Structure 1
Amino acid sequence: MKAFLGMGLLGSNFVKAMIKKGDQVQVWNRTSAKATVLEAIGAKAFPDPAAAVQQADIVHLALKDDDAVNEVLALAAPGLKPGATIIDHTTTAVAGAIQRTQEWKERGFTYLHAPVFMGPLNALESTGLMLVSGDQEVIGRLQPVLAAMTGKVINFGPATGRAAGMKLTGNLFLVGLTAGLADALSLSRSLDIPLDNLVTLFDSWNPGVAIQARLQRMAGGSYDQPSWELSMARKDTRLFMDAVATGGGRLAVIPAIAAEMDRWISKGHGNEDWTVIGSGQYKDKG
């Protein structure tokens, strides 16, 4: 028997996939209608978390944040089967994941934080990525359960909370990517470039293929053989900002990047590779 607490878009589709594979699933959601609607496909909805987790060997969570996880688990605790396993797919703080892992172990339960890079369709189709870290015996035992839910499980080793950190890092990149695209759209509009031209550009030019090499260069500490000098990148950044200002638009992230470039240029790095601006995350604490 499985239980799933949190019937948002991700949780409800996880449940649909589980039921399709023959699992018995008990569900709960703060807005009860989101849980009861799943009874039509075979789930059993309950009015409170403690009732929903009774007799469940594995309890899955997909909630909003650390506070929600702590609150719902506190409500569920009286109904937990002795020795039950809690698998939390919520995006949380690293400290929260570490604390819950230890706390629930002391109470006689297994808690594994397993955040995902998956949308609702991925959850329904059991595709995407699931991240884990911590006790390797626990992860090995749960591997078949996790693998059935997703296309790939990435194990980041024995450090408890590392999966939470990797999820946050990935989400930060997605936020930055989307903000960068927003700025690219603003520049395009300011220059009267139609959207289909932008689509054509990215059909032929995929900057994503450079990520791994760029990351290694940024963290490598050697910037004296530039492929694009910082001063030249800053010149182009000025052109971006001037064009958008002339066109009456606004930029979300480029002005902050320009300020960071200026900081590094003022320290004498203008003739180095522009990736030097990322070295401060490792080398420069000033």
Structure 2
Amino acid sequence: MAEKGQGAGPGAGKAGGASLRVAVIGLGNIGLGAACNLLRAPGLDVTGCDLGEAARAAFAAEGGRAVAGAEALPEGTEAVLVCVVSAAQARAALFGPRGAASRLAPGAVLIVSSTMAAADARALAAEAAARGLLYLDAPVSGGAVGAREGRLSVMASGSEAAFAKAAPVLGPIAGKVWKLGDAPGLGTTMKVVHQLLAGVHIAAAAEAMALGIKAGIEPQALYDVVTNAAGNSWMFENRMAHVLEGDDTPRSAVEIFVKDLSLVAELGREVASPVPLAAQAQQLFVAAKGLGQGGRDDAFVIRVWQAITGIALPEKDAS
């Protein structure tokens, strides 16, 4: 079931017009854009949280306030959007020694958008329930641009109570909220399946671009033809634009797909469904990380082919 995200209207955060106290943990590519949209939404009182000084400064530049540790969030925080990378980071941010749990109001909702295995989501949900907290398993797709524009796709599962409590937070950040069921783990499973496609598409896009360049086709012409032909994909059009610009600033990093395609392989083993294309794509991302590209934009998995074939890639315009 899909629902269009709806922005919270005036006073929508809580009955009587009081502001809903919201925290966003992880002010990276997704979290910063989401936090800025929440900051602009009526009825919400938003605090950001990130260990990185630069991330906190970026949120402050938008008019927000941020803390370095979740233990410093405002007392009585009622909703937490978690935008960290992994299950381990999510657990530490919520339930670790410097976690948010001690700062939360009874019945607060945890909206966890990290990509993880379903078993990890279920374990986090169980710990939340033991503490009297609601849990929404809610990974997202849409990248930094989708987060900034408030049109993330949210793949969510959880109780009706969790969806209801999370609605004022999801509204300003989501283009669509997909309700996948009431059991935590369904959202993360959907995201892992999605990442199979995303990772394979990026690797295939880089392979095609590298082959064309090696065969003598001018990179811009190659891009223009593919993006106006049947072989195009969203990932080719989006990621190979980064290659043409020579800009490896990480919107989503190579090492993310090393992790996420590992989750794909784990899921395949669990349900006895082979994932050979995902396995091969993962090895390409592993090779890119081995070349020192782990922290660079995932489009630059193409540097694996550059290392093998010696192709020249476009360079960033110094002007």
TM-score computed with the length of structure 1 as normaliser? 0.67
1:106 matched to 2:130 = yes
Q: Which residue of 2 aligns with 1:229?
A: none
1:5 matched to 2:39 = no
**Helix, strand or coil: the match of 2:47?**
strand
- Could you tell me which of 73, 83, 99 is aligned with 2:107? 83
Q: How big is the alpha-carbon RMSD for the aligned residues of Structure 1 and Structure 2?
A: 2.4
**Helix, strand or coil: the match of 1:64?**
coil
- Please tell me whether the aligned partners of residues 8 and 34 of structure 1 are also in contact (alpha carbons under 8 angstroms): yes
- Please tell me whether the aligned partners of residues 136 and 157 of structure 1 are also in contact (alpha carbons under 8 angstroms): no
Query: In 1, distance between residues paired with 2:65 and 2:164?
Result: 29
**Helix, strand or coil: the match of 2:31?**
helix
- Please tell me whether the aligned partners of residues 3 and 27 of structure 1 are also in contact (alpha carbons under 8 angstroms): yes
Q: Which residue of 2 aligns with 1:70?
A: 91
One-letter amino acid of the counterpart of residue 145, structure 1: V
Query: In 2, distance between residues paired with 1:28 and 1:142?
Result: 18
1:94 matched to 2:115 = no
Q: Which residue of 2 aligns with 1:15?
A: 35
1:204 matched to 2:203 = no
Give how far 1:136 is off. Answer: 3.7
**Helix, strand or coil: the match of 1:82?**
strand
**Percent of residue pairs identical:** 25
Gaps of at least 5 residues in structure 1 are 210-244, 251-286
Q: Which residue of 2 aligns with 1:282?
A: none
One-letter amino acid of the counterpart of residue 204, structure 1: A
Give how far 1:87 is off. Answer: 0.7
One-letter amino acid of the counterpart of residue 23, structure 2: A
Give how far 1:138 is off. Answer: 2.7
**Helix, strand or coil: the match of 1:185?**
helix
Give how far 1:52 is off. Answer: 1.1
One-letter amino acid of the counterpart of residue 122, structure 1: G
Query: In 2, distance between residues paired with 1:44 and 1:136?
Result: 31
1:152 matched to 2:176 = yes
Query: In 1, distance between residues paired with 2:129 and 2:29?
Result: 29
Query: In 1, distance between residues paired with 2:128 and 2:228?
Result: 48
1:257-276 aligned within 5 A: none
- Please tell me whether the aligned partners of residues 37 and 172 of structure 2 are also in contact (alpha carbons under 8 angstroms): no
One-letter amino acid of the counterpart of residue 205, structure 1: A
Q: Which residue of 2 aligns with 1:238?
A: none
Query: In 1, distance between residues paired with 2:165 and 2:47?
Result: 22
Q: Which residue of 2 aligns with 1:249?
A: 309
More strand by share: 2
**Helix, strand or coil: the match of 2:85?**
coil
Q: Higher relative contact order at CA 8 Å, sep ≥6: structure 1 or structure 2?
A: 2
1:189 matched to 2:213 = yes
Aligned residues: 213
Query: In 2, distance between residues paired with 1:20 and 1:199?
Result: 37
**Helix, strand or coil: the match of 1:204?**
coil
Give how far 1:72 is off. Answer: 1.2
One-letter amino acid of the counterpart of residue 149, structure 1: I
- Please tell me whether the aligned partners of residues 227 and 233 of structure 2 are also in contact (alpha carbons under 8 angstroms): no
Give how far 1:6 is off. Answer: 1.0
- Please tell me whether the aligned partners of residues 153 and 178 of structure 2 are also in contact (alpha carbons under 8 angstroms): yes
Query: In 1, distance between residues paired with 2:230 and 2:33?
Result: 34
Q: Which residue of 2 aligns with 1:45?
A: 66
1:111-130 aligned within 5 A: 111-130=135-154
Give how far 1:144 is off. Answer: 4.7
| Compared CA separation, residues 206 and 67, structure 1 to 2 (3 A) | same
Q: Which residue of 1 aligns with 2:244?
A: none
Q: Which residue of 2 aligns with 1:281?
A: none
Gaps of at least 5 residues in structure 2 are 1-20, 235-304, 311-319
TM-score computed with the length of structure 2 as normaliser? 0.61
